[in-house]
Structure 1
Amino acid sequence: MFTVLSVMLVTGSILSACGSAPNSGESVATGTPEATKAANDKKITLTVATNIVGEPANVLQDIAKSFEQENPSIHVEFSAPGAEYENIMKIKMASNSLPDVFSTHGWSKIRYGNYLADLKDQPWVSQLDDNIKPAVTDAAGKVYALPIDQDKSGPVYNADILAQYGIAVPTTIEELLKACEEIKTKSGGKVTPIHIGGADSWPIGQFFDFMASSYFISGNKNYAKELKDGSFDWKNFDQLPQLFLDMQKKGYLNKDVLTAKYDDSAKAFAEGKAAFGIYGPFLIEEAKKTNPNVKGGLMPIQAAIAGDKVTFAGGEKTTWGVWKNSPNQEAAKKFVAYYAKPENVAKVAKAQALPPGIKGVAIDAGSLTKDFEKYKDVAVIPYFDREYLPNGMWDVMCKNGQDMLAGAITPRQYSENMKKEFDRLRAVK
């Protein structure tokens, strides 16, 4: 018995020391050439998430695939969940378990600042465009994210329709309303002056986000300080929801505003059935999928107060930030730096029809390039909700806009609901 046990122990030790054959699919002994190769072949998996959708998201993913080819030891797990992105990120922030690399969608400093690694030591930082730099850096020198392109947004117009009815590009709210009346009357109702896909809710929020800056921020007399310190009198806000409701009542909005979607706006614009889109340059690119020959133009946000100047809304658009607690920070920074290459910046900016966020890359926004050049000196101010409203107010603007157009609330009640949520969210900020 003793001899048998001894033989079994010795045999077991030998088998344990030898390990299994390299091609058996099982583990190999440490220190062997096979083990070293297995370790070298082990890939790092980078989790990457973006809010960008559509063709621009496809461009981002294609660049990620090229990155993988050039860096075979790194696997990229790419995610573009669309409308659910913000809610997903809120859950991940609450659990402090974010993707290695993620899009900051306009909130790199205010919302995600405490979760982001400082990228100031990256080689591309010296090439940040001066116009976008303040949006992704702070006074202490921290760099929160790579801005691959930069938002410079305003309403768009169908150039053929304006030419057909002899209408100049409006520069004030008064001129915009006059243009809407002329288009509705001269077309016999066949052309919708302003098409909004209200069923998606966010296009309604886009209207308020654009116009709120004209009414309350960009003028010589503005409420920036009061909105920042919380003392803003929300009765002053009534005029904006009232404007929106009046547009609906006068027939300046599409009749199906509450059931139409964003895709319907793009289709109507492409088919010459809508004159204006309160969206941004991307509406034109979307419309070209239906009609490649559609002639669209970008215009600044109209001034609401006499004597004020037109403006653009801007800030971050397509960005990459690195989670400060990522276990793969070096690989994540390498991934971000890959997108900072001029050729990749050019691809992303072109897909969004926006100016690049890095110096030395030419604007290639197709037919809109001339508009960006024409309005290059127009002031770009941050989106109203990003700068002057607490986190969470975007949904409030959207939902109350839907309710008001449906007749469920009045403009005064819209403002009251804004104040209630403004105070609540400021308290929990």
Structure 2
Amino acid sequence: MIRSVGKSLTSFIRGMYMKRSKGLLMLSILLLTAWTLSACGSNNKENNASPSATASSSASASESASPSAADQKEVTLTVMTNIVGEPATVLEDIAKQFHEENPNIKVDFSAPGADYENIMKVKMASNALPDVFSTHGWAKVRYGEYLADLRDEAWVPQIDDSIKPVVTDDSGKVYALPIDQDKSGPVYNKEVLDKYGVKVPTTWDELLAAAEIIKTKSNGQVIPIHIGGADSWPVGQFFDFMATPSFISPQTNFASQYLDGTFDWKQFDKLPQMFLDLQKKGYLNKDVLTSKYDDSAKAFAEGKVAFGFYGPFLIEEAKKTNPNVKGGLMPIPSVEAGDKPTFAGGEKTTWGVWKDSPNQEAAKKFVAYFAKPENVAKVATANALPPGLKGVEINAGDLTADFQQYASTPVFPYYDRVYLPNGMWDVMCKNGQDLLAGGITVSEFSENMKQEFDRLRAAQ
């Protein structure tokens, strides 16, 4: 409309130029300019939007139609876990799938194994933690002040009631995603026990009797108990398991003395003595100080081992060597008369987000990806443990019947997580190695524990 009217007016002006003076021509040009500006203003009013408002509206539409700035920005997430073996491979595979679906988010995944705790201590001291990391039983006590609150995440209402108190607090803060939950005890090779006519032991004395039968009847070809001592943490696992029936679960126990710092560490002598007896009686692998966790899994798979003081994940690791291996889960044998067998429990596989991460949005997206039912199922199945979220079914294989059989067996928190100050795990592992190597005596083991217990407790 503006173009046609303007064209007519221009023709009129040309006519006027032929008939009128230059002054009249200039007046006509000014009139044309004013009319054009008025017409443009009228057109804007008809559209009911100013030029600035129109530009703003276009920008908003563009933003809503395209991914968020966070989705477009390329970031690299540092992700670290304490999980080892096949379960760690499962975690890494899921992390790779996440990257494939989110190509702008790269994942620097690491699973340093036995070095994890020391690495994390250094990172906490410098306040430079991974964007996403495993809390390995210490979500609230050790890592609480470093973790972002995940209470607003969509998966939070699905947290299983039994694990919820472990990863949340009274204020409502959610410290970590519990992908699965620990219900752990020693495992055994079913075919080995059947071959030598051994029943699943329920007490320490029964375990020793079973070990003697297996050692004798196999002419030493089958190792009663295999421990990968070169990795150190399997040594600590033995003490973590057996400390509960020795000092915590019996009716007469030392739980309160541990907590108030008055525990008589001479009482602790019996636990390293139990461990040393296994070596002296020939119930441990002779290469206990040079073999590793992978060696335990391989020997278990080949039917050369009866018991493993690890947890259900050893069976899954063994299946990499022998998919047909038949493994079973047993409660931790009782030590004191009148006590019942127990399980160790709490956090197993978790992801927490560093509160100071520069990539929090991407980190939370990564954690949410692991909360998908199919991914929870993969992780829980790899560890042969119950899922940490509701509504997820897993195939625990041979262990399904064991979980049903021992559904009412008491589950106690891991000994070191409740009764020892932060830093004692390494002390327990190292002293266990030194004991088997002949570097320290039973009483020196206990004295070292007391010294570090008092020092770390005072420091904390």
How do 1:231-246 and structure 2 match up within 5 A?
Answer: 231-246=262-277
3-state secondary structure, aligned to 2:345: strand
**CA 1:65–1:198 in 2, change beyond 3 Å: closer, same or farther?**
closer
Distance 2:85 2:283 in 1: 29
Root-mean-square deviation (CA, aligned residues, Å) is 2.0
Task: Select 1:184's aligned residue among 215, 235, 250.
Answer: 215
3-state secondary structure, aligned to 1:97: coil
3-state secondary structure, aligned to 2:155: helix
Which residue of structure 1 aligns with residue 310 of structure 2? 279
Work out whether residues 312 and 379 of structure 1, in 8 Å CA contact, stay in contact via their aligned partners in 2.
Answer: yes
Which residue of structure 2 aligns with residue 128 of structure 1? 159
Which residue of structure 2 aligns with residue 346 of structure 1? 377
Distance 1:216 1:264 in 2: 31
Q: TM-score, normalization: structure 2?
A: 0.82
Q: State the 1:128 CA deviation.
A: 0.9
Distance 1:404 1:59 in 2: 35
Q: String of CA shifts for 1:175-217, please: whole Å, max 9, x gaps.
A: 1111111112222222211111222222111111100011111
Structure 2 residue identity aligned to 1:59: V
Task: Select 2:242's aligned residue among 208, 211, 219.
Answer: 211
Tell me, yes or no, if structure 1 residue 160 matches structure 2 residue 180. Answer: no
Q: State the 1:72 CA deviation.
A: 4.1
**CA 1:56–1:91 in 2, change beyond 3 Å: closer, same or farther?**
same
Structure 2 residue identity aligned to 1:428: A
Distance 1:276 1:247 in 2: 12
Tell me, yes or no, if structure 1 residue 143 matches structure 2 residue 179. Answer: no
Q: State the 1:97 CA deviation.
A: 1.5
Distance 1:68 1:199 in 2: 34
Work out whether residues 47 and 78 of structure 1, in 8 Å CA contact, stay in contact via their aligned partners in 2.
Answer: yes
Work out whether residues 85 and 317 of structure 2, in 8 Å CA contact, stay in contact via their aligned partners in 1.
Answer: no
Specify which structure has the higher proportion of helix. 2
Work out whether residues 355 and 364 of structure 1, in 8 Å CA contact, stay in contact via their aligned partners in 2.
Answer: no
Distance 2:319 2:293 in 1: 14
Task: Select 2:230's aligned residue among 178, 189, 199.
Answer: 199
Structure 2 residue identity aligned to 1:394: W
Identity value in percent: 75
Structure 2 residue identity aligned to 1:311: T
Task: Select 1:399's aligned residue among 430, 441, 457.
Answer: 430
Work out whether residues 86 and 382 of structure 2, in 8 Å CA contact, stay in contact via their aligned partners in 1.
Answer: yes
Distance 2:373 2:252 in 1: 41
**CA 1:265–1:78 in 2, change beyond 3 Å: closer, same or farther?**
closer
How do 1:384-423 and structure 2 match up within 5 A?
Answer: 384-423=415-454
Distance 1:41 1:325 in 2: 21
Aligned residues: 396
Task: Select 1:263's aligned residue among 269, 294, 308.
Answer: 294
**CA 1:192–1:79 in 2, change beyond 3 Å: closer, same or farther?**
closer
Structure 1 residue identity aligned to 2:277: D
Rg (Cα) greater in structure: 2
Q: State the 1:388 CA deviation.
A: 0.8
Q: State the 1:57 CA deviation.
A: 2.3
Distance 1:240 1:363 in 2: 36
Work out whether residues 122 and 337 of structure 1, in 8 Å CA contact, stay in contact via their aligned partners in 2.
Answer: yes
Work out whether residues 221 and 304 of structure 2, in 8 Å CA contact, stay in contact via their aligned partners in 1.
Answer: yes
Instruction: Structure 2 unaligned segments of length 5 or more: list them.
Output: 1-58
**CA 1:310–1:321 in 2, change beyond 3 Å: closer, same or farther?**
same
Which residue of structure 1 aligns with residue 397 of structure 2? 366
Work out whether residues 363 and 369 of structure 1, in 8 Å CA contact, stay in contact via their aligned partners in 2.
Answer: no
Q: State the 1:314 CA deviation.
A: 1.3
Distance 1:224 1:260 in 2: 34
Which residue of structure 2 aligns with residue 171 of structure 1? 202
Which residue of structure 1 aligns with residue 40 of structure 2? none
More deviation in 50-59 or 173-182? 50-59
How do 1:298-377 and structure 2 match up within 5 A?
Answer: 298-377=329-408
How do 1:75-94 and structure 2 match up within 5 A?
Answer: 75-94=106-125
Instruction: Structure 1 unaligned segments of length 5 or more: list them.
Output: 1-30
